């Protein structure tokens, strides 16, 4: 909506007309619409258009249709300046001055001269997109990065396990090579080259698949984005560093994961590989690595106390590593406990299955770890979701806790909403049965060059009807103090970004220069929790920012009032203010729950993310079967049926899965605690709440994977030819 | 009635030009309580014979009658049951389950058969005691010597009280002293505990403990000899010389 001076506007920036005429000085409620809007609505010159205004609906006459101007994504409407000022209830206010420099002047000099004259409260040049979004994006980015790190760890694990398979399968070949004179270095080089080749291939395919997926997503979103934003989006574009990073990571992780198996292969002695492989019981003591693991976990815990998000993220890495290290020491007791349970179901086979795991706790721990990492993602995100949903529910109850709400269908962040003038509130207050009302107002200010949203509250009525959620400052006294003097309450994100504490002084840009505000508390409300927001009194907002329209009205009815009558009277006001939607609290909560239940779709995504763990489990069990070919042959020879062998493998897989699930629950809990802690650090303050749903999904998925993972290896084991298996070396 | 009877037993590995006939229309009768040693050069089909009798493998043609029952008609599960209950197998490399201790290994056929753990373990302990391992109950295979491991394997073969023990080169991986001890045990199994023993070996010294020796070549029986009871006391040099001579002729 652009209010312009009909005399001057066209001279500064010519507005091309498709038909009709331009605005004239004598026009009052005349308007120009774009041909785009004209096409969509069927409106044209001579028609009228009702627009929401601070004082209710205002009717405009369409006098012309513009050709529309790229690259603006939203419709531009032109009307006389006075009409726009009335619409927004901003009499005498302007927020943009357009100027045309003389042809022979130096742009930069003039620019500087203008800025010097205006002072720091103004900016020169094109409007910049709201930096308020930056913090919300930052939080999202942080969480994406976190999942990226975990995905890479998981990938590394699977590669590691796969390379172990390769080395185990080729033990004899490697022994032969050593026997005919290959040096240890040659063996190491051979396997590392192999992992390099695989890494290059995998990275190449990964980049292609990633590009294709991004392109597919963009094609899928194209229609939506064109509809919503009137913008054409092209194909995906990646910064060169993204390619560099993925190539580095892809090849680096593959090489790293291949290193340990390659070193193990290097140690294969020619003799060892030539004699029949008699299964050895893993003898290496697990205690030393367990101690290192405990130390790492303790350090990981300390990182959380440091208060730095990046250090806490590093802590997750330490925690997972620690878990892998203490894994072998924990496998034995855990296998004993679960083994006892399992022997109830698998009376005849459980014992052998349990023995197979405790015999090689290192390998069992690694497989279990693969499941652990996949499941910890599930539990962590589950925890995050429950915390968010639960926390938001709490926030809604407290900060929007009125019986009825008038609010815009969508709040346009950073300004641009049509608020309501004093008439609406007066009409609401006049309804019998309405006890208290309070309103929120909005303005934008700048601090150190960044846009910050200001919300105006009424210090008297706001705490009666609703209230902010405090993390610092005194809730009892702060509202009263706000009535006298320039006090500001900042929300968590705002405080975290600017490292603010109670008692600091903030210098805010106002249309009339700067004003100092004292930080009285750190607190926030639901609507603005993801935006850097400051709360000041409505009196100060009017005085310093000239903003007096109400953007959101909360209504409490009197005890004993006729609910239906109150609701009907309120609803009757709504049509006059089309910018507002009327909700009762329950309607609004239902609306919010719908929005938040969409988050549950994330679980599906997570289950997909957990699939690599399934592959790792199948892989390990398959090696296990391969290594134990002779044993399985023996079992069959002494009278085990195919079904019994299958049940043994399944029991083993279930044991592994149960162990991995237990670890996964623990580390997922930790992870979600860290994620919630990290959110707190960036100012999204929610109390941590345990995700029962996430835990249950994780247990079901974990044990389900146990059964699924056993299918292929069990089949492989039952198909063994007994005579050949007995002779297998 | 014979406890083991093979009729025209034939086993061919592979197909077409690469086909190898391991057993060629072999007929063999073993009476209950006999201790039969099968000897012959590598590839003569002696292990194949043992595998077919034990139901580990299926013949190409002909049949095996175990205690009068035709094994070729049995399902895979039925043959597994037969191996659990009616046959005890002993292998060259002992083939114990490394994660289980001596008692658990010996009890395995009973556990697989669904016998209660406590009962199975008691029987396993009994048999381990009989083969002289009463002080090694809770040792795992990697904590036992080769001879001790083979005794555990014998206890495992005997625990279900089968009528037939099949031993495939049971001393092939043992030093000569342990080998003698195992041979004596096998002889004891047959003479004192009245089990039928069918043993494959290439060692004349061990074969000399048997009551009958069957010489195999190219999948058929080429010679057969009955030995007089050499006495439980130990090996009999004269008989061993006889076996060696026979073996020379046979191959």
The pLDDT assigned to A600 comes to 66
Domain count, chain A: 3
What is the rounded average pLDDT of the residues A116-139?
57
Contact A651, A346 (CB under 8 A): yes
Q: How many CB atoms lie within 10 A of CB B249?
A: 10
With pLDDT > 70 as the criterion, what percentage of chain A qualifies? 84
CA of A349: which chain B residue's CA is closest?
A: B112
CB contact under 8 A, B109 and A639: yes
Distance from CA of B103 to the nearest CA of A (A): 13
Look at residues A100, A117, A136 and tell me which one is the last residue of a structural domain: A100
| Closest alpha carbon to A642 in B81, B197, B193, B23 | B81
CA of B165: which chain A residue's CA is closest?
A: A638
The pLDDT assigned to A130 comes to 47
CB contact under 8 A, B76 and A642: yes
B11: exposed, middle or buried (Cβ count in 10 Å: 0-12, 13-18, 19+): buried
| Domain identity same for A523 and A614 | no
| Domain identity same for A415 and A388 | no
Q: Is A140 within the bounds of a domain?
A: no
| Closest alpha carbon to B193 in B149, B230, B161 | B161
| Closest alpha carbon to A462 in A408, A418, A402, A407 | A402
Distance from CA of B29 to the nearest CA of A (A): 23
What DSSP designation does A420 have? B
Distance, in Å, from the CA atom of B158 to the CA atom of A472, rounded to the nearest integer, reads 78
The pLDDT assigned to A275 comes to 53
Query: Most distant CA pair in chain B: distance in Å?
Result: 54
The pLDDT assigned to A278 comes to 44
CB contact under 8 A, B91 and A634: yes
The pLDDT assigned to A303 comes to 78
| Domain identity same for A92 and A163 | no
| Domain identity same for A625 and A677 | yes
Distance from CA of A377 to the nearest CA of B (A): 34
The pLDDT assigned to A224 comes to 64
The pLDDT assigned to B6 comes to 93
Residue A673 has pLDDT above 80, yes or no: no
> Tens digits of per-residue pLDDT, B196-226?
999 999 888 889 889 999 999 888 998 888 8
Residue A16 has pLDDT above 90, yes or no: no
The pLDDT assigned to A279 comes to 44
Residue A277, chain B, CB below 8 Å: the answer is: no
| Domain identity same for A501 and A544 | yes
| Domain identity same for A428 and A549 | yes
> A348: which chain B residues are within 8 Å (Cβ-Cβ)?
111-112, 114
Could you say which of B82, B97, B111 has the minimum Cβ distance to residue A634? B97
Q: Is A501 within the bounds of a domain?
A: yes
Contact B84, B160 (CB under 8 A): yes
> Tens digits of per-residue pLDDT, A361-394?
776 777 777 777 778 777 877 777 777 777 777 7
| pLDDT band per the 50, 70, 90 thresholds, residue A602 | low
| Domain identity same for A200 and A301 | yes
Q: Is A287 within the bounds of a domain?
A: yes
What DSSP designation does A128 have? P
The pLDDT assigned to B126 comes to 95
Residues of B at the A interface, defined by Cβ within 8 angstroms: 51, 54, 56-57, 76-77, 80-85, 89, 91, 93, 95-100, 104, 108-109, 111-114, 140, 142, 156, 160
| Domain identity same for A551 and A607 | no
> Tens digits of per-residue pLDDT, A530-578?
778 899 999 999 888 888 888 888 888 888 888 888 888 888 888 888 7
The gap between the terminal CA atoms of chain A, to the nearest Å, is: 82
Distance from CA of A288 to the nearest CA of B (A): 23
Distance, in Å, from the CA atom of A85 to the CA atom of A95, rounded to the nearest integer, reads 11
| pLDDT band per the 50, 70, 90 thresholds, residue A272 | low
The pLDDT assigned to A285 comes to 55
Size (chain B), residues: 251
* Mean pLDDT over the full length of chain A: 78
The pLDDT assigned to A129 comes to 42
The pLDDT assigned to A697 comes to 79
Distance from CA of A639 to the nearest CA of B (A): 4
Q: Is A142 within the bounds of a domain?
A: no
| Domain identity same for A512 and A653 | no
Give me the sign of the Cα torsion angle A216, A219, A223, A229: positive
Higher pLDDT: A301 or B206? It is: B206
Residue B45 has pLDDT above 70, yes or no: yes
| pLDDT band per the 50, 70, 90 thresholds, residue A282 | very low
Distance, in Å, from the CA atom of B113 to the CA atom of B106, rounded to the nearest integer, reads 13
Q: Would you put residue A31 in left (φ > 0), alpha (ψ -120 to 50) or beta?
A: beta
The pLDDT assigned to A636 comes to 87
| Domain identity same for A424 and A387 | no
Interface predicted TM-score of the whole assembly (ipTM), two decimals: 0.84
What is the rounded average pLDDT of the residues A479-488?
89
Q: Is A137 within the bounds of a domain?
A: no
Q: Is A516 within the bounds of a domain?
A: yes
Distance, in Å, from the CA atom of A628 to the CA atom of A728, rounded to the nearest integer, reads 9
Helix or strand holding residue A716 (H, E) = helix A692-718
Q: Is A387 within the bounds of a domain?
A: yes
| Domain identity same for A641 and A540 | no
The pLDDT assigned to A359 comes to 67
| Domain identity same for A375 and A471 | no
What is the rounded average pLDDT of the residues B122-135?
93
CB contact under 8 A, B95 and A631: yes
The CATH number of residue A40's host domain is 2.40.40
Higher pLDDT: A133 or B51? It is: B51
Q: Is A141 within the bounds of a domain?
A: no
Q: Where in the sequence is the domain holding A526, given as residue range(s)?
A: 410-578
Look at residues A100, A118, A142 and tell me which one is the last residue of a structural domain: A100
Look at residues A546, A578, A610 and tell me which one is the last residue of a structural domain: A578
| pLDDT band per the 50, 70, 90 thresholds, residue A153 | confident
| pLDDT band per the 50, 70, 90 thresholds, residue A404 | confident
What is the rounded average pLDDT of the residues B87-109?
88
> B99: which chain A residues are within 8 Å (Cβ-Cβ)?
281, 352, 355-356, 358-359
CA A458 distance to own-chain centroid: 33
Joined together, the tokens standing for residue A274 give 């030539």
């Amino acid at each position: 909506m652009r209010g312009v001076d009909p005399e001057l506007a066209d001279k500064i920036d010519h507005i091309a007309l498709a038909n009709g005429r331009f605005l004239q000085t004598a026009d009052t409620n005349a308007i120009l619409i774009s041909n785009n809007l004209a096409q969509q609505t069927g409106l044209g010159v001579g028609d009228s258009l009702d627009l929401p205004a601070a004082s209710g609906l205002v009717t405009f006459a369409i006098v012309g249709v513009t050709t529309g101007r790229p690259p603006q994504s939203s419709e531009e409407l032109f009307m006389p300046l006075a009409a726009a000022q009335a619409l927004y209830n901003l009499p005498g206010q302007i927020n943009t001055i357009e100027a045309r420099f003389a042809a022979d002047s130096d742009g930069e000099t003039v620019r500087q001269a203008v800025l010097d004259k205006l002072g720091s409260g103004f900016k020169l040049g094109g409007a910049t997109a709201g930096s308020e979004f930056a913090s919300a994006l930052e939080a999202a980015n942080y969480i994406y990065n976190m999942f990226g790190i975990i995905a890479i760890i998981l990938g590394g694990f699977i590669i590691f396990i796969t390379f172990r398979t390769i080395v185990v399968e080729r033990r004899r070949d490697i022994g032969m090579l050593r026997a005919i004179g290959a040096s240890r270095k040659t063996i190491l080089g051979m396997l590392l080259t192999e992992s390099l080749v695989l890494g290059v291939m995998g990275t190449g395919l990964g980049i292609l698949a990633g590009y294709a997926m991004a392109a597919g997503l963009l094609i899928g979103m194209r229609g939506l984005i064109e509809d919503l934003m009137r913008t054409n989006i092209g194909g995906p574009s990646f910064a060169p560093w993204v390619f560099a990073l993925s190539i580095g990571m892809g090849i680096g992780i593959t090489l790293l994961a291949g290193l340990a198996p390659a070193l193990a292969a290097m140690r294969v002695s020619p003799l060892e590989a030539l004699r029949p492989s008699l299964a050895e019981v893993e003898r290496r003591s697990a205690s030393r690595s367990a101690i290192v693991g405990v130390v790492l976990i303790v350090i990981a815990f300390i990182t959380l106390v440091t208060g730095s998000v990046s250090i806490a993220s590093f802590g997750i890495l330490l925690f997972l590593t620690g878990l892998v290290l203490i894994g072998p020491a924990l496998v034995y007791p855990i296998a004993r406990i679960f083994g006892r349970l399992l022997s109830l179901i698998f009376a005849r086979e459980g014992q052998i299955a349990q023995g197979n795991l405790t015999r090689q706790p290192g390998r069992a721990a690694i497989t279990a770890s693969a499941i652990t990492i996949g499941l910890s993602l599930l539990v962590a995100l589950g925890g995050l979701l429950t915390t968010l949903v639960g926390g938001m529910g709490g926030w809604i109850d407290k900060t929007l806790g009125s019986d009825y709400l008038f609010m815009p269908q969508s709040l346009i962040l950073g300004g641009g909403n049509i608020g309501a003038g004093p008439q609406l509130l007066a009409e609401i207050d006049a309804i019998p049965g309405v006890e208290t009302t309070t309103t929120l107002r909005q303005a934008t200010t700048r601090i150190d060059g960044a846009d910050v949203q200001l919300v105006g509250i009424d210090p008297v009525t706001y705490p009666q009807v609703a209230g902010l959620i405090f993390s610092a400052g005194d809730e009892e006294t702060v509202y009263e103090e706000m009535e006298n003097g320039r006090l500001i309450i900042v929300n968590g994100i705002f405080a975290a970004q600017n490292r603010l504490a109670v008692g600091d002084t903030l210098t805010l840009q106002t249309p009339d220069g700067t004003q100092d505000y004292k930080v009285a508390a750190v607190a926030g409300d639901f609507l603005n929790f993801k935006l850097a927001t400051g709360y000041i009194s409505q009196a100060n907002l009017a005085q310093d920012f000239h903003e007096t329209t109400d953007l959101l009205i909360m209504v409490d009815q009197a005890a004993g009032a006729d609910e239906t009558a109150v609701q009907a009277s309120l609803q009757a006001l709504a049509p006059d203010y089309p910018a507002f939607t009327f909700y009762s609290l329950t309607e609004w909560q239902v609306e919010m729950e719908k929005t938040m239940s969409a988050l549950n779709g994330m679980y599906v995504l997570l289950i997909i993310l957990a699939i690599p763990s399934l592959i790792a489990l199948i892989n390990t069990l398959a090696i296990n079967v391969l290594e134990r070919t002779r044993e399985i042959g023996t079992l069959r020879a002494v009278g085990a049926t195919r079904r019994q062998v299958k049940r043994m493998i399944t029991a083993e897989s279930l044991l592994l899965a149960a162990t991995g699930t237990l670890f996964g629950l623990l580390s997922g809990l930790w992870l979600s605690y860290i994620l919630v802690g990290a959110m707190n650090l960036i100012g999204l303050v929610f109390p941590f709440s345990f995700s029962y749903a996430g835990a249950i999904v994780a247990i079901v998925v974990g044990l389900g994977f146990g059964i699924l993972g056993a299918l292929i290896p069990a089949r492989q084991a039952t198909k063994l030819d007994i005579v050949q298996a007995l002779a297998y070396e | 009635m014979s406890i083991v009877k093979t009729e025209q037993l034939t086993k061919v590995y592979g197909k077409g030009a690469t086909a190898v006939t391991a057993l060629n229309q072999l007929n063999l009768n073993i009476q209950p309580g006999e201790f039969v040693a099968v000897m012959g050069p590598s590839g003569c089909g002696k292990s194949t014979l043992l595998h077919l009798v034990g139901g580990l493998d299926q013949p190409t043609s002909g049949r095996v009658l175990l205690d009068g029952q035709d094994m070729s008609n049995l399902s895979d599960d039925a043959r597994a049951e037969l191996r659990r209950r009616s046959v005890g197998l002993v292998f060259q490399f002992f083939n114990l389950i490394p994660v289980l201790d001596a008692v658990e290994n010996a009890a395995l056929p009973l556990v697989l058969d669904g016998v209660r753990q406590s009962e199975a373990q008691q029987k396993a302990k009994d048999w381990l005691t009989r083969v002289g391992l009463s002080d090694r109950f809770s040792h795992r295979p990697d904590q036992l010597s080769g001879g001790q491991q083979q005794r555990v394997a014998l206890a495992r073969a005997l625990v279900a009280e089968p009528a037939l023990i099949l031993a495939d080169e049971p001393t092939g991986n043992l030093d000569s002293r342990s080998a003698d001890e195992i041979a004596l045990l096998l002889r004891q199994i047959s003479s004192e505990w009245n089990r039928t023993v069918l043993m494959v070996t290439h060692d004349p010294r061990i074969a000399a403990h048997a009551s009958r020796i069957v010489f195999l070549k190219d999948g058929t029986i080429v010679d057969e000899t009955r030995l007089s009871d050499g006495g439980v006391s130990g090996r009999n040099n004269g008989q061993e010389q006889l076996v060696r001579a026979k073996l020379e002729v046979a191959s």
